Protein backbone atom coordinates (compact mmCIF):
# COMPACT_ATOMS: atom_id res chain seq x y z
CA UNK A 1 0.00 0.00 0.00
CA UNK A 2 2.77 2.44 0.91
CA UNK A 3 4.67 1.61 -2.25
CA UNK A 4 1.57 2.32 -4.32
CA UNK A 5 1.36 5.74 -2.66
CA UNK A 6 4.98 6.46 -3.52
CA UNK A 7 4.23 5.81 -7.18
CA UNK A 8 2.46 9.18 -7.13
CA UNK A 9 5.89 10.80 -6.74
CA UNK A 10 7.15 9.58 -10.10
CA UNK A 11 6.00 12.67 -11.97
CA UNK A 12 7.90 14.93 -9.56
CA UNK A 13 11.13 12.98 -10.06
CA UNK A 14 10.76 13.15 -13.84
CA UNK A 15 9.47 16.72 -14.20
CA UNK A 16 12.12 18.23 -11.94
CA UNK A 17 14.95 15.78 -12.76
CA UNK A 18 15.38 14.92 -9.08
CA UNK A 19 17.68 12.45 -7.39
CA UNK A 20 15.58 12.48 -4.20
CA UNK A 21 12.68 14.19 -2.43
CA UNK A 22 12.87 15.24 1.22
CA UNK A 23 9.70 15.28 3.32
CA UNK A 24 9.48 17.07 6.68
CA UNK A 25 5.71 17.62 6.95
CA UNK A 26 4.77 14.78 9.31
CA UNK A 27 1.43 14.14 7.59
CA UNK A 28 3.26 13.42 4.35
CA UNK A 29 5.90 11.41 6.20
CA UNK A 30 3.20 9.23 7.72
CA UNK A 31 1.33 8.85 4.44
CA UNK A 32 4.43 7.67 2.59
CA UNK A 33 6.20 5.67 5.30
CA UNK A 34 3.65 4.58 7.92
CA UNK A 35 5.67 6.27 10.67
CA UNK A 36 3.36 7.93 13.21
CA UNK A 37 5.89 9.77 15.37
CA UNK A 38 5.80 13.52 15.89
CA UNK A 39 9.32 14.33 14.68
CA UNK A 40 11.41 13.04 11.81
CA UNK A 41 12.15 13.28 8.11
CA UNK A 42 11.78 11.06 5.07
CA UNK A 43 14.17 10.97 2.13
CA UNK A 44 13.06 9.05 -0.96
CA UNK A 45 14.79 8.29 -4.22
CA UNK A 46 12.99 6.48 -7.05
CA UNK A 47 14.08 3.12 -5.62
CA UNK A 48 15.24 3.64 -1.99
CA UNK A 49 14.14 5.37 1.18
CA UNK A 50 15.45 6.52 4.55
CA UNK A 51 13.46 7.49 7.63
CA UNK A 52 15.30 9.73 10.05
CA UNK A 53 14.17 10.04 13.68
CA UNK A 54 15.58 10.72 17.11
CA UNK A 55 16.17 8.12 19.82
CA UNK A 56 12.60 8.39 21.14
CA UNK A 57 11.26 6.77 17.97
CA UNK A 58 13.97 4.39 16.73
CA UNK A 59 12.19 1.21 17.84
CA UNK A 60 8.79 2.49 16.75
CA UNK A 61 10.13 3.49 13.33
CA UNK A 62 11.63 0.03 12.78
CA UNK A 63 8.19 -1.50 13.32
CA UNK A 64 6.14 1.02 11.36
CA UNK A 65 8.47 1.61 8.38
CA UNK A 66 9.95 -1.82 7.76
CA UNK A 67 10.84 -1.26 4.11
CA UNK A 68 12.94 1.83 4.85
CA UNK A 69 16.41 2.25 6.29
CA UNK A 70 16.14 3.86 9.73
CA UNK A 71 18.70 6.52 10.65
CA UNK A 72 18.79 7.85 14.19
CA UNK A 73 19.85 11.46 14.65
CA UNK A 74 20.72 13.81 17.47
CA UNK A 75 20.75 16.84 15.13
CA UNK A 76 18.39 16.32 12.20
CA UNK A 77 20.05 18.85 9.88
CA UNK A 78 23.45 17.21 10.35
CA UNK A 79 22.05 13.74 9.72
CA UNK A 80 20.28 14.84 6.53
CA UNK A 81 23.40 16.55 5.25
CA UNK A 82 25.50 13.47 5.93
CA UNK A 83 22.97 11.17 4.21
CA UNK A 84 22.62 13.33 1.08
CA UNK A 85 26.39 13.66 0.73
CA UNK A 86 26.94 9.96 1.40
CA UNK A 87 24.45 8.90 -1.28
CA UNK A 88 25.79 11.48 -3.77
CA UNK A 89 22.36 13.05 -4.31
CA UNK A 90 22.79 16.26 -6.27
CA UNK A 91 19.23 17.50 -6.96
CA UNK A 92 16.95 17.15 -3.94
CA UNK A 93 13.34 18.33 -3.96
CA UNK A 94 11.84 19.69 -0.76
CA UNK A 95 8.39 20.78 0.48
CA UNK A 96 8.54 24.53 -0.02
CA UNK A 97 5.08 24.98 1.51
CA UNK A 98 6.28 23.43 4.78
CA UNK A 99 9.81 24.82 5.01
CA UNK A 100 10.65 28.09 6.73
CA UNK A 101 13.15 30.50 5.21
CA UNK A 102 15.54 30.00 8.13
CA UNK A 103 15.39 26.20 7.81
CA UNK A 104 16.06 26.45 4.08
CA UNK A 105 19.00 28.79 4.59
CA UNK A 106 20.54 26.55 7.24
CA UNK A 107 20.07 23.41 5.18
CA UNK A 108 21.26 24.81 1.86
CA UNK A 109 24.31 26.29 3.54
CA UNK A 110 25.37 22.79 4.59
CA UNK A 111 24.96 21.25 1.13
CA UNK A 112 27.86 22.55 -0.88
CA UNK A 113 27.63 21.39 -4.49
CA UNK A 114 24.05 20.16 -4.06
CA UNK A 115 20.89 21.84 -5.34
CA UNK A 116 17.65 22.09 -3.37
CA UNK A 117 14.62 22.25 -5.65
CA UNK A 118 11.46 23.85 -4.25
CA UNK A 119 8.34 21.75 -4.86
CA UNK A 120 5.09 23.66 -4.51
CA UNK A 121 1.88 22.98 -2.64
CA UNK A 122 0.84 20.55 -5.39
CA UNK A 123 3.08 18.01 -3.66
CA UNK A 124 0.44 17.79 -0.92
CA UNK A 125 -2.11 16.81 -3.58
CA UNK A 126 -0.72 13.29 -3.59
CA UNK A 127 -3.00 12.77 -0.56
CA UNK A 128 -6.12 14.26 -2.21
CA UNK A 129 -7.59 10.93 -3.35
CA UNK A 130 -7.88 8.49 -0.47
CA UNK A 131 -7.28 4.77 -0.91
CA UNK A 132 -9.58 2.08 0.48
CA UNK A 133 -7.66 1.75 3.76
CA UNK A 134 -7.86 5.49 4.39
CA UNK A 135 -11.59 5.63 3.69
CA UNK A 136 -12.18 2.87 6.24
CA UNK A 137 -10.30 4.87 8.88
CA UNK A 138 -12.15 8.07 7.95
CA UNK A 139 -15.51 6.32 8.22
CA UNK A 140 -14.57 4.91 11.61
CA UNK A 141 -13.54 8.22 13.14
CA UNK A 142 -16.52 10.05 11.61
CA UNK A 143 -18.96 7.50 13.03
CA UNK A 144 -17.31 7.79 16.45
CA UNK A 145 -17.61 11.59 16.46
CA UNK A 146 -21.21 11.63 15.22
CA UNK A 147 -22.29 9.10 17.84
CA UNK A 148 -20.52 11.12 20.54
CA UNK A 149 -22.45 14.25 19.66
CA UNK A 150 -25.75 12.39 19.71
CA UNK A 151 -24.87 11.07 23.17
CA UNK A 152 -24.24 14.52 24.68
CA UNK A 153 -26.87 16.63 22.87
CA UNK A 154 -29.55 15.93 25.52
CA UNK A 155 -27.51 18.01 27.99
CA UNK A 156 -27.83 21.09 25.76
CA UNK A 157 -30.44 23.08 27.65
CA UNK A 158 -30.82 26.77 28.48
CA UNK A 159 -28.29 27.70 31.16
CA UNK A 160 -25.49 25.35 30.17
CA UNK A 161 -22.13 26.92 29.36
CA UNK A 162 -20.73 26.50 25.86
CA UNK A 163 -17.47 25.26 27.39
CA UNK A 164 -19.26 22.59 29.44
CA UNK A 165 -20.85 21.16 26.31
CA UNK A 166 -17.51 21.14 24.47
CA UNK A 167 -15.80 19.45 27.40
CA UNK A 168 -18.43 16.70 27.66
CA UNK A 169 -18.24 16.10 23.93
CA UNK A 170 -14.48 15.61 24.06
CA UNK A 171 -14.80 13.25 27.04
CA UNK A 172 -17.42 11.21 25.19
CA UNK A 173 -15.20 10.92 22.12
CA UNK A 174 -12.33 9.65 24.24
CA UNK A 175 -14.62 7.18 26.00
CA UNK A 176 -15.52 5.81 22.58
CA UNK A 177 -11.89 5.36 21.56
CA UNK A 178 -10.77 8.64 19.99
CA UNK A 179 -7.12 9.60 20.37
CA UNK A 180 -8.22 13.19 20.88
CA UNK A 181 -10.19 16.06 19.40
CA UNK A 182 -9.43 17.08 15.84
CA UNK A 183 -9.39 20.81 16.71
CA UNK A 184 -10.69 23.24 19.32
CA UNK A 185 -14.45 22.74 19.17
CA UNK A 186 -16.65 25.61 18.08
CA UNK A 187 -19.72 26.05 20.27
CA UNK A 188 -21.24 29.42 19.37
CA UNK A 189 -24.64 30.39 20.75
CA UNK A 190 -26.88 33.39 20.16
CA UNK A 191 -25.05 36.39 18.70
CA UNK A 192 -21.76 34.47 18.92
CA UNK A 193 -23.10 32.27 16.11
CA UNK A 194 -22.06 35.07 13.74
CA UNK A 195 -18.43 34.05 14.45
CA UNK A 196 -17.52 31.18 12.08
CA UNK A 197 -14.66 30.23 14.44
CA UNK A 198 -16.31 31.05 17.74
CA UNK A 199 -14.54 28.68 20.11
CA UNK A 200 -16.52 27.50 23.11
CA UNK A 201 -16.67 30.22 25.78
CA UNK A 202 -17.99 30.52 29.33
CA UNK A 203 -21.21 32.04 27.98
CA UNK A 204 -24.43 30.41 29.17
CA UNK A 205 -26.83 29.42 26.40
CA UNK A 206 -30.21 31.18 26.56
CA UNK A 207 -33.66 29.80 25.77
CA UNK A 208 -34.57 29.92 22.08
CA UNK A 209 -31.03 30.56 20.85
CA UNK A 210 -29.39 28.76 17.97
CA UNK A 211 -26.18 26.94 18.85
CA UNK A 212 -23.59 26.05 16.22
CA UNK A 213 -21.41 23.07 17.14
CA UNK A 214 -18.38 22.35 14.94
CA UNK A 215 -16.57 19.26 16.17
CA UNK A 216 -14.32 16.38 15.16
CA UNK A 217 -12.26 13.51 16.48
CA UNK A 218 -8.89 12.07 15.52
CA UNK A 219 -8.07 8.36 15.59
CA UNK A 220 -5.18 6.47 14.01
CA UNK A 221 -4.01 9.76 12.54
CA UNK A 222 -7.24 10.49 10.63
CA UNK A 223 -9.66 13.31 11.36
CA UNK A 224 -13.38 13.96 11.21
CA UNK A 225 -15.10 17.31 10.76
CA UNK A 226 -18.82 18.01 11.16
CA UNK A 227 -21.11 20.89 12.14
CA UNK A 228 -24.70 21.03 13.34
CA UNK A 229 -26.79 24.03 14.34
CA UNK A 230 -29.49 23.25 16.89
CA UNK A 231 -31.89 25.30 19.00
CA UNK A 232 -32.03 25.49 22.79
CA UNK A 233 -35.80 25.79 22.84
CA UNK A 234 -38.14 27.10 20.15
CA UNK A 235 -36.21 29.60 17.97
CA UNK A 236 -37.60 32.77 16.44
CA UNK A 237 -38.93 32.51 12.89
CA UNK A 238 -35.98 34.28 11.24
CA UNK A 239 -33.52 31.85 12.81
CA UNK A 240 -35.56 28.90 11.58
CA UNK A 241 -35.71 30.45 8.10
CA UNK A 242 -31.92 30.90 7.95
CA UNK A 243 -31.40 27.31 9.05
CA UNK A 244 -33.73 26.14 6.27
CA UNK A 245 -31.81 28.13 3.63
CA UNK A 246 -28.42 26.81 4.78
CA UNK A 247 -29.72 23.23 4.93
CA UNK A 248 -31.05 23.54 1.38
CA UNK A 249 -27.71 24.94 0.15
CA UNK A 250 -25.91 22.07 1.88
CA UNK A 251 -28.20 19.45 0.34
CA UNK A 252 -28.01 20.97 -3.16
CA UNK A 253 -24.23 20.98 -3.11
CA UNK A 254 -23.96 17.40 -1.85
CA UNK A 255 -26.40 16.23 -4.53
CA UNK A 256 -24.11 17.74 -7.20
CA UNK A 257 -20.91 16.00 -6.05
CA UNK A 258 -19.56 13.50 -8.57
CA UNK A 259 -16.34 12.86 -10.49
CA UNK A 260 -15.60 15.51 -13.11
CA UNK A 261 -17.46 18.34 -11.37
CA UNK A 262 -15.47 21.52 -10.74
CA UNK A 263 -14.88 22.45 -7.11
CA UNK A 264 -15.61 26.07 -8.03
CA UNK A 265 -18.94 25.08 -9.59
CA UNK A 266 -19.83 23.09 -6.48
CA UNK A 267 -19.16 26.14 -4.32
CA UNK A 268 -21.32 28.28 -6.62
CA UNK A 269 -24.33 26.00 -6.19
CA UNK A 270 -24.50 26.64 -2.45
CA UNK A 271 -23.42 30.27 -2.73
CA UNK A 272 -26.04 31.15 -5.34
CA UNK A 273 -28.82 29.52 -3.32
CA UNK A 274 -27.89 31.58 -0.26
CA UNK A 275 -27.59 34.70 -2.44
CA UNK A 276 -31.00 34.25 -4.06
CA UNK A 277 -32.54 34.37 -0.58
CA UNK A 278 -30.80 37.66 0.21
CA UNK A 279 -28.00 36.42 2.45
CA UNK A 280 -25.08 36.22 0.00
CA UNK A 281 -23.00 38.83 1.83
CA UNK A 282 -23.20 36.74 5.01
CA UNK A 283 -21.49 33.67 3.53
CA UNK A 284 -17.86 34.70 3.49
CA UNK A 285 -15.82 31.49 3.49
CA UNK A 286 -15.32 28.69 1.01
CA UNK A 287 -17.70 25.74 0.82
CA UNK A 288 -15.23 23.18 2.06
CA UNK A 289 -11.76 21.66 2.46
CA UNK A 290 -10.13 18.28 2.33
CA UNK A 291 -9.96 16.10 5.45
CA UNK A 292 -7.56 13.27 6.18
CA UNK A 293 -4.25 13.08 8.03
CA UNK A 294 -4.73 16.83 8.53
CA UNK A 295 -7.94 18.59 9.41
CA UNK A 296 -7.42 21.02 6.51
CA UNK A 297 -5.81 19.62 3.38
CA UNK A 298 -6.36 19.32 -0.36
CA UNK A 299 -8.72 19.71 -2.16
CA UNK A 300 -10.07 23.17 -1.40
CA UNK A 301 -13.67 23.89 -2.47
CA UNK A 302 -14.09 27.64 -2.89
CA UNK A 303 -14.61 30.40 -5.46
CA UNK A 304 -10.82 30.77 -5.70
CA UNK A 305 -9.96 27.18 -6.65
CA UNK A 306 -10.90 25.11 -9.67
CA UNK A 307 -10.15 21.46 -9.02
CA UNK A 308 -11.82 18.64 -10.93
CA UNK A 309 -13.37 16.26 -8.40
CA UNK A 310 -12.07 12.69 -8.55
CA UNK A 311 -13.23 9.44 -7.01
CA UNK A 312 -11.70 9.04 -3.55
CA UNK A 313 -11.49 12.74 -2.71
CA UNK A 314 -12.72 13.49 0.81
CA UNK A 315 -13.83 17.00 1.72
CA UNK A 316 -16.35 19.00 3.71
CA UNK A 317 -19.50 20.69 2.46
CA UNK A 318 -20.21 23.48 4.95
CA UNK A 319 -22.28 26.46 3.81
CA UNK A 320 -23.16 29.07 6.41
CA UNK A 321 -24.87 32.37 7.10
CA UNK A 322 -23.38 34.67 9.75
CA UNK A 323 -25.19 37.88 10.65
CA UNK A 324 -23.41 40.26 13.06
CA UNK A 325 -25.59 41.14 16.02
CA UNK A 326 -28.01 38.33 15.30
CA UNK A 327 -26.24 34.98 15.05
CA UNK A 328 -25.55 32.33 12.46
CA UNK A 329 -25.99 28.87 11.06
CA UNK A 330 -23.51 26.42 9.60
CA UNK A 331 -24.26 22.85 8.50
CA UNK A 332 -21.37 20.59 7.59
CA UNK A 333 -20.84 17.03 6.43
CA UNK A 334 -17.68 15.32 5.24
CA UNK A 335 -18.18 13.36 2.02
CA UNK A 336 -16.16 10.97 -0.13
CA UNK A 337 -16.53 11.13 -3.91
CA UNK A 338 -17.69 7.79 -5.35
CA UNK A 339 -17.86 6.58 -8.94
CA UNK A 340 -21.35 8.00 -9.42
CA UNK A 341 -21.79 10.64 -6.70
CA UNK A 342 -20.71 10.82 -3.08
CA UNK A 343 -21.23 9.24 0.32
CA UNK A 344 -21.52 11.19 3.56
CA UNK A 345 -19.05 9.95 6.18
CA UNK A 346 -20.48 12.07 9.00
CA UNK A 347 -23.86 11.05 10.31
CA UNK A 348 -25.34 13.49 12.84
CA UNK A 349 -28.86 14.75 12.14
CA UNK A 350 -28.71 18.01 10.19
CA UNK A 351 -32.34 19.04 10.71
CA UNK A 352 -33.13 21.87 13.12
CA UNK A 353 -33.30 19.98 16.39
CA UNK A 354 -35.18 21.84 19.13
CA UNK A 355 -33.75 20.79 22.48
CA UNK A 356 -35.69 21.71 25.61
For the segment 277-309, what is each residue's pLDDT rounded down to a tens digit? 999 999 999 999 999 999 999 999 999 999 999
pLDDT at 1 over 80: no
User: What's the Cα-to-Cα distance from 245 to each of 159, 241, 353, 356, rounded to whole Å?
Assistant: 28, 6, 15, 23
Residue where a domain terminates, one of 126, 160, 183: 126
Of 101-115, 119-133, 163-177, the poorest mean pLDDT is in 101-115
- pLDDT (tens digit, 9 = 90+) per residue, 45-89? 999 999 999 999 999 999 999 999 999 999 999 999 999 999 999
pLDDT at 107 over 90: no
Shared domain check, 344 and 212: yes
Shared domain check, 98 and 161: no
Shared domain check, 110 and 41: yes
Residue where a domain terminates, one of 96, 126, 156: 126
Number of separate domains in the chain: 2
CATH number of the domain residue 184 falls in:
3.90.230.10
CATH number of the domain residue 112 falls in:
3.40.350.10
Average pLDDT score over the chain: 96
> What is residue 3's predicted lDDT score, i.e. its pLDDT?
87
Tell me the sheet residues that pair with 69: 50
For residues 218-242, average pLDDT = 97
Tell me the sheet residues that pair with 52: 41, 71
Confidence of residue 19 (pLDDT cuts 50, 70, 90): very high
What is the spatial distance between Cα 320 and Cα 327, in angstroms, rounded to a whole number?
Answer: 11
Shared domain check, 278 and 143: yes
308-321 in b/e form (b: 16+ CB < 10 A) is ebeebbbbbbbbbb
Burial class (CB in 10 A: 0-12, 13-18, 19+), 125: middle
What is the spatial distance between Cα 312 and Cα 344, in angstroms, rounded to a whole number?
Answer: 12
Nearest by Cα to 337 from 318, 311, 307, 316: 311
Residue where a domain terminates, one of 126, 158, 177: 126
Half-sphere exposure of 326 (CA within 13 A, CB side): 14
Shared domain check, 116 and 144: no
Shared domain check, 227 and 110: no
Burial class (CB in 10 A: 0-12, 13-18, 19+), 199: middle
User: What's the Cα-to-Cα distance from 111 to each of 91, 115, 203, rounded to whole Å?
Assistant: 11, 8, 54
Shared domain check, 305 and 253: yes
Shared domain check, 277 and 161: yes
Shared domain check, 99 and 172: no
pLDDT at 35 over 90: yes
What is the spatial distance between Cα 16 and Cα 8, in angstroms, rounded to a whole number?
Answer: 14
Q: What is the pTM of this model?
A: 0.95
Nearest by Cα to 200 from 208, 210, 209, 211: 211
Shared domain check, 287 and 164: yes
Q: What percent of the chain has pLDDT over 90?
A: 94
Of 114-123, 183-192, 285-294, the poorest mean pLDDT is in 114-123
Shared domain check, 184 and 113: no
Shared domain check, 172 and 307: yes
The CA-CA-CA angle for residues 273, 276, 281, to 5°, reads 90
Give the domain range for residue 234. Answer: 132-355
- pLDDT (tens digit, 9 = 90+) per residue, 251-270? 999 999 999 999 999 999 99
Contact 208, 332 (CB under 8 A): no
Amino acid sequence: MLKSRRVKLERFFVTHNLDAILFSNMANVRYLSGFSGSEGALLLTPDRGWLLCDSRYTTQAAVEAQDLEIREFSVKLDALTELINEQKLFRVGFEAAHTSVSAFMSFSGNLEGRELVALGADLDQIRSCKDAAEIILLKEVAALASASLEAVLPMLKPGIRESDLARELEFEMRRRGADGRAFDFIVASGERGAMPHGRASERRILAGELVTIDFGAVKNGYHSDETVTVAAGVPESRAAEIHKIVREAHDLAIAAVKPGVSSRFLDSIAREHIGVHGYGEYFGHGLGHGVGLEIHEKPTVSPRTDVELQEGMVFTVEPGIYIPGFGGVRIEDTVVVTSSGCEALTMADKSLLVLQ
